[in-house]
Amino acid sequence: MRNQAGYTLLEVLIVLVITTALFFGGFATYREFSRRQILNATYKELGTNLSLAREFAMSGEKPSGCTGILSGYSVSFTGTGYTIAAVCSSTVTVRSLTLPSGVTISGPNFTYKVIGQGTNLTSGSTVAISYAVIGKTLNATLTQNGILQK
C-alpha cells in the first residue's frame, strides 16, 4: 500500500459548506450595517437642514428672489424627499433633497415662522424616516426635540 497525502471529497465539501455559511452570514450583516448607515446619514442630514431652516426663519433672512414680506420657511415632505422654501409673496425653494433609493420620509408639512414665532405644528408631531427592505423596515423618528419645535 502506498500512503498518499491529500484531502477526501468529504473534507473538501465540509470546508466549502462552512466557508459559504460564513460568507453569507457576513454579507447579511454587512448589508444590515450599510442600510443602518444610510438611514442614520439621512436622519442627521434632515436634522441639519431643519435646524438651518429654523435659523433662517429666526433671523428673518430672505434669500435672493424672495420679494415682499418673509413670513417663514416651509418644509414639505414628498415621500422620497423634502423641500425647504422661503414663503414670501412667492415661494422660493432654498433646498430640495431626494433621499437615497429605498428610503422614504413622511410627516406633516409645516412652516417655521419668522423671528422666533414658532411653527404651525400640532403637539406631538413627528417625522418618520424608513428604509424598507424585503421582510424588514428600519425606522428613525424625529420628534419635537428642538428640531421640530412648536
- Summarize pLDDT for 113-134 with one digit per residue, the tens: 888 777 777 767 777 778 766 5
Q: What is the pTM of this model?
A: 0.72
3-state helix, strand and coil shares in percent for the chain, rounded to the nearest 5? 35, 30, 35
Q: What is the percent of the chain with per-residue pLDDT over 70, rounded to a whole number?
A: 85
Report residue 129 as a C-alpha cell: 424616516
Mean pLDDT, the chain, whole residue set: 83
Give residue-wise pLDDT tens across range 9-51.
999 999 999 999 999 888 888 888 888 888 888 888 888 898 8
Residue 45, phi then psi, degrees to nearest 5:
-65, -40
Compute the distance between CA of residue 95 and CA of residue 92 in angstroms, rounded to an integer.
9
* Residue 92: per-residue pLDDT: 93
Compute the distance between CA of residue 14 and CA of residue 2 in angstroms, rounded to an integer.
25
